């Protein structure tokens, strides 16, 4: 890589891609778990890297820099995918909370359940990013605490604490709306 003005010619970028693409693919796939979608993440990560390569001062840290870009791009991809799947009538928190029933409900009861789902959905979206992130990875993607910690590069104890606090905040918000 060339130092100095930060400008990079195509040959250098091609070399960077050749050198780091294997690791970047692995990182993207570890988040996405789908090769085709991981390919989109890798392409997006390299586009971001290409646009910002002039900002890197120490080329010795290129590997870590690209890994960070890829991780964040993958998380953004999962968030966008999650948002596109989240409809008011299809809330993952509700689906994972034991409300499945084979009992036929009245129209009024179904409407109440749909409104409850919407309220939970809104509440989840109002949580801070750090809480929402771990909650989504746990509930929607079924990841274990150590898997979440690995993906977000956090300590397992930090993930456990954030999950506990996220659930507590969700419960508090819902109890205000739906007092016992």
- The CATH code of the domain that includes 66 is 1.10.1740.10
Q: Six-digit token pair at 108?
A: 């009024």
Q: What is the pLDDT of residue 83?
A: 63
User: What angle in degrees, to the nearest 10, is found between the helix axes of 35-52 and 62-85?
Assistant: 130
Q: What distance separates the 2 farthest-apart alpha carbons in the chain?
A: 71
- Work out the average pLDDT over 146-157: 91
Domain that holds residue 22: 10-84
Task: Please list, in sequence order, all residues whose beta carbon lies within 8 angstroms of the beta carbon of residue 36, skipping any fewer than 6 positions away.
Answer: none
Same domain for 68 and 93, yes or no, is no
Q: Six-digit token pair at 6?
A: 């930060």
Beta-ladder partners of 6: none
Q: What is the pLDDT of residue 110?
A: 72
Beta-ladder partners of 125: none
Instruction: Identify the CATH number of the domain in which residue 172 sits.
Output: 1.10.10.10
Boundary residue ending a domain (84, 114, 145): 84
Same domain for 78 and 155, yes or no, is no
Same domain for 51 and 129, yes or no, is no
Given a cut of 50, whether residue 6 has pLDDT beyond it is: no
> Average pLDDT of the chain?
78
pLDDT, tens digit, 9 for 90 and up, residues 61-114? 888 889 889 988 988 888 777 665 544 434 444 444 444 444 566 677 677 777
Given a cut of 60, whether residue 22 has pLDDT beyond it is: yes
pLDDT, tens digit, 9 for 90 and up, residues 27-72? 898 888 888 889 999 999 999 988 888 887 877 888 888 988 998 8
pTM for the whole structure: 0.45
12 vs 179, more confident: 12
Number of domains in the chain: 2
Same domain for 16 and 62, yes or no, is yes
- Work out the average pLDDT over 127-153: 87
Same domain for 93 and 69, yes or no, is no
Domain contains 166: yes
Q: What is the pLDDT of residue 9?
A: 46
Q: What is the DSSP string of the chain?
A: ---SS----HHHHHHHHHHHHHHHHHHHHHHH--HHHHHHHHHHHHHHHHHHGGG---GGGHHHHHHHHHHHHHHHHHHHHHHHH-BTTB-HHHHTTT----S---HHHHHHHHHHHHHHHHHHHHS-HHHHHHHHHHHTT---HHHHHHHHT--HHHHHHHHHHHHHHHHHHHHHHS--
Q: What is the pLDDT of residue 34?
A: 86
Q: Six-digit token pair at 117?
A: 């789902």
Q: What is the pLDDT of residue 104?
A: 63
């Amino acid at each position: 890589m060339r130092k100095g003005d930060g400008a990079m010619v195509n040959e250098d970028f091609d070399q960077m891609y050749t050198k780091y693409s294997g690791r970047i693919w692995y990182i993207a796939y570890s988040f996405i778990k789908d090769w085709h979608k991981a390919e989109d993440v890798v392409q997006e990560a390299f586009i971001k890297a290409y646009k910002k390569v002039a900002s890197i001062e120490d080329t010795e840290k290129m590997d870590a820099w690209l890994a960070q870009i890829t991780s964040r791009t993958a998380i953004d991809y999962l968030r966008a995918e999650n948002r596109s799947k989240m409809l008011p009538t299809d809330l993952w928190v509700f689906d994972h909370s034991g409300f499945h029933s084979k009992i036929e409900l009245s129209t009024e009861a179904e409407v109440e359940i749909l409104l409850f789902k919407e309220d939970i959905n809104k509440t989840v979206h109002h949580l801070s990013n750090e809480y929402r992130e771990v909650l989504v990875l746990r509930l929607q993607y079924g990841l274990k605490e150590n898997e979440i910690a690995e993906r977000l590069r956090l300590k397992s104890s930090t993930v456990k604490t954030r999950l506990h606090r996220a659930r507590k905040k969700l419960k508090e918000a819902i109890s205000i709306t739906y007092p016992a």
